[in-house]
Amino acid sequence: KAGVTQTPRYLIKTRGQQVTLSCSPISGHRSVSWYQQTPGQGLQFLFEYFSETQRNKGNFPGRFSGRQFSNSRSEMNVSTLELGDSALYLCASSFITDLGGEQYFGPGTRLTVT
């Protein structure tokens, strides 16, 4: 089975711009979660999508948004970029049931805001 793929791998943007990151989950996985990783804060949960619905949202401003399509692919968008948004953005997919589920991560998108 192919793993989680994320595009692009690297991105450089300017303050005030917006950016869209893409994630393709493992085939059969309907849950997609997004995380932000920075040296200072570590890995922080952004949001989770399941069957095209946002199921959970982390403590991030409204500039961070996402969506999931019917094929489970997901995108996240950050508007009005700030320098502090520079980070590794990780997507994880899982086959979740009420009994549990394991998250498998993609390689991440490295976003640099200048």
The answer to whether residue 110 forms part of the interface with another protein (CB under 8 A) is: yes
Distance from C-alpha of 7 to C-alpha of 95, rounded to nearest angstrom: 21
The answer to whether residue 73 forms part of the interface with another protein (CB under 8 A) is: no
What single letter denotes the amino acid at residue 73? R
Select 57 or 79, whichever has its Cβ closest to another protein: 57
| From 31, 68, 72, 74, residue interacting with another protein (rule: CB under 8 A) | 31
Q: How far is CA 109 from CA 21, 55, 100, in A?
A: 7, 23, 27
Which single residue is written with the structure tokens 């990151």?
A: 21
Number of C-alpha atoms within 13 angstroms, CB side, residue 73? Answer: 9
The answer to whether residue 26 forms part of the interface with another protein (CB under 8 A) is: no
Which single residue is written with the structure tokens 């403590």?
A: 59
Select 5 or 20, whichever has its Cβ closest to another protein: 5
The answer to whether residue 67 forms part of the interface with another protein (CB under 8 A) is: no
Residues that bind another protein (CB under 8 A): 4, 31-33, 35, 42-45, 48, 50, 55-56, 58, 88, 90, 92, 94, 96, 100-108, 110
